[in-house]
Every structure is written in structure tokens, then in C-alpha cells.
Amino acid sequence: MAPHLSNEEFFTSLTTLLSTTSQKTRGSVYLTQKPLLNTTSTNGDDPSPVSQPSILIRATDGNTNAPNPKNPKNKIERSKTKASKVKISTVVAPEELEGFYGRYAEVCKAGMTGLKKRDRKRGKAKGKGGSGKGAKA
Amino acid sequence: MPYLPTPQAYLEQSALLLQAYPDSRITTKYSFLSQRPTALKKAQARQSQRRQQQQQQSQDTATTPSQSTPAPQTPVATLTLKTYNPAAGICLQYRTNKAAEVGRLITSLGKLAGGADVAALGLGAAPATAAAAGTAGDVEMTDAPVAAEEGSAAAQAAGQAQGKPDAGAKGGKSKKKGKGKR
């Protein structure tokens, strides 16, 4: 398994991963976070086991960006596409959590362009238009 | 695996679950609709069903009845948040497609990762809910199994203490019981 990236590298990789997925409008990006509770093996005798654990963050495209295997054209290079699966991960120390998640939110906001934009105006106009039309007519 | 109706409810329940089981994981899936025709059909059915539910719930907000969006031209992605604990088998989910919610959700996930309790999330929930969650908030988050049991008990207690949950907040475990929310 690939070693963990630094937080900076993780962000750059995540940005490209999200933007490629958004551009293709196809596939998925999975972001997982979980606490690293069993850190005893890495840093020996932790003086304060009650303290906050580090958070492991993973991101992957689950190989969803690979071409459709059902398409016979892609069948030959199937083994090749398997290697194209993107898998990145990073570990965030508890004291860096706040700063990390600030940037994480920014990256996600910027990258997830496929979601519905906020257009309150149009929604309102639609709602009003329906009732307004009825009133006018 | 219930889909929670509001982000607040999802975050609240996730906070409770994380308190009870600190080793839970949170997965955020940013996904475009599958291109398979069967999947598209399923998604449409789900959408219309959801719209019906929403109309039933909020009839006073004047939702346009003729709001039929047959197969949007530009594929809209969805964001699914999932909090799952493999040991307990509890899975909480929330799904959205609003870009405006992303920032708020991710920041809240950061708070959850930092071990925040329901009160610390600052969701602006009903005071009754926050007060009930206060009991759960007293439990220190440790990875000791005893504490985890205490935590789950507290989470359940919190769920019971909320006589009438406002934001669809129920005890994480009593999800199936509390079907009739209104």
C-alpha cells in the first residue's frame, strides 16, 4: 500500500481527483475519515491514551473512472485500467484538525462542481410564477 | 440504514454514535449518477418519491406541484454522507445535492473528528435537544470498551430523554421504532 501523503500533497491530489470526476460527470469519489485508535504499534507507549487520536483520511475513486468493462472495446485493456484506481491517504494530527478541515472544506467546495448550485432566485420565481400566473389569468 | 432528513439530524446522530463508538468511520461519497438505464430509472423513482414526501411534510411552503424534472440535461452529482460502525452495525446516512451545504458539512465532519459532542457542533438545534444531549456529552471519549458501553447507554438515554424530537432527532438505536415522526 502506498504510504500516506503529507497534508499538502493530499490536497493537491484530491483537487485533481475531484476536478477530473466533475469534468467527466461520471464516477464517484469516496472520502473516508476514521480515528487511528491503535497507535500503540507506531508510537510505543503513548503517555496519554485518553487524548484525541489522529485522524486518517482516505480518498479514492473506487476505480469508477475506468471505462465501462461491459463495453467490448475496453475489455482488452481491463488489466491496465485496474492500475488507474486512485487511492490517496493522509494522517492529520489532532492539533492540526481545525486548519486541515478548513482547507478540506475549501477543496471539496471547489471540486464538487457537479452539485446543484444555489439559485434561490429561480426557485422563488418558479414558485411565484405558478401562483402569479393563476392570479393574473 | 436510515437516511436522515436533515443535515442537523445526521450530524447530531453521528456525534452520538461517535461518542458511543469512537472507532466509527465516516464516508463521504461524491458521486455522479450511474449511466446504466436501470440505475437511472431507480434514481428517478426515488426522486419522485422523495418529492412527494417533501410535499406532504411542507405543504405551507407552497411547493409547485408541476415541478417535474424529467431526466436533467446536466447530470447532477450527489453527496452521500455515511457514518458507519462495523462492530455495532449502525449506519447513518444523509444525502444531498446542494453545493451550498458542502462547506458546512465538511467543517462539521471536522468537528466530529475532533470528538465534538452534540452541543459543541453548534447546530442551533432546539434547546431541549441540546439539554438532553448534555447528559451524553459528559461521557469522556475513550477507546476503552467499558466507556464505549457507557456511551451507548448514554446515547440511548439521550434518545429517550428527547420526548418530542424537533429535527427528526432520535436515539441512534431506536431508529426503526420511531417511524411516525409527526
Query: How is chain A split into domains, by residue range?
Result: 7-136
pLDDT at A16: 93
ipTM of model over 0.85: no
Most confident option among A112-121, B89-98, B147-156, B159-168: B89-98
User: Is residue B158's pLDDT more than 70?
Assistant: no
Section B22-45 average pLDDT:
82
- Which of these ranges, A103-117, B12-26, B140-154, has the smallest mean pLDDT? B140-154
Residue B66 belongs to some domain of the structure: no
Q: How confident is the model at residue A130 (pLDDT cuts 50, 70, 90)?
A: very low
Using CA atoms, how far apart are residues B127 and B119, in angstroms rounded to an integer?
Answer: 10
User: Is residue A89's pLDDT more than 60?
Assistant: yes
Is-contact B26 B112, C-beta < 8 A?
yes
| B66, B77, B115: residue with CB nearest A115 | B77
pLDDT at B27: 95
Residue B67 belongs to some domain of the structure: no
Query: Is B62 touching A (CB cutoff 8 A)?
Result: yes
Using CA atoms, how far apart are residues A28 and B31, in angstroms rounded to an integer?
Answer: 4
3-state secondary structure of A83: coil
Query: Is B107 touching A (CB cutoff 8 A)?
Result: yes
User: Is residue A65's pLDDT more than 80?
Assistant: no
Using CA atoms, how far apart are residues A4 and A9, in angstroms rounded to an integer?
Answer: 10
Query: Is B142 touching A (CB cutoff 8 A)?
Result: yes
Residue B44 belongs to some domain of the structure: yes
3-state secondary structure of A113: coil
Residue B173 belongs to some domain of the structure: no
pLDDT digits (tens, 9 = 90+) for A47-61: 445 577 899 999 999
Residue B117 belongs to some domain of the structure: yes
> Which parts of B21-172 fold into alpha helices (H)?
37-57, 100-113, 118-121, 127-137, 145-161
Judge: B103–A108 Cβ closer than 8 Å, yes or no.
yes
Using CA atoms, how far apart are residues A66 and A2, in angstroms rounded to an integer?
Answer: 20
Burial of B63 (0-12, 13-18, 19+ CB in 10 A): middle
Burial of B125 (0-12, 13-18, 19+ CB in 10 A): buried
Judge: A105–B140 Cβ closer than 8 Å, yes or no.
no
Give the residue, B130 or A33, on which the prediction is more confident: A33
Q: Which residues in chain B have Cβ-Cβ distances shorter than 8 Å to A115? A: 76-79, 96-99, 102
Q: How confident is the model at residue A120 (pLDDT cuts 50, 70, 90)?
A: low
Judge: B24–A55 Cβ closer than 8 Å, yes or no.
no
Residues sharing a CB contact under 8 Å with residue A37, sequence separation 6 or more, in sequence order:
A53, B22, B23, B143
- How many domains are contained in chain B? 1
Among chain B residues, CA nearest to A114: B77
Percent of chain B whose pLDDT exceeds 90: 30
Judge: A105–B102 Cβ closer than 8 Å, yes or no.
yes
pLDDT at B48: 82
- Which of these ranges, A81-85, A91-95, B10-14, has the smallest mean pLDDT? A81-85
Judge: A27–B74 Cβ closer than 8 Å, yes or no.
no
Burial of A43 (0-12, 13-18, 19+ CB in 10 A): exposed
Which architecture does CATH list for A7-136? 2-Layer Sandwich (3.30)
Give the range of the structural domain holding residue B114, as residue numbers without chain letter.
7-57+73-166
pLDDT digits (tens, 9 = 90+) for B70-127: 444 566 889 999 999 999 999 999 999 899 999 999 999 998 988 877 777 766 544 4
Residue B171 belongs to some domain of the structure: no
Residue B134 belongs to some domain of the structure: yes
Percent of chain B whose pLDDT exceeds 70: 54
Judge: B114–A49 Cβ closer than 8 Å, yes or no.
no
User: Is residue B153's pLDDT more than 70?
Assistant: no
pLDDT at A39: 52
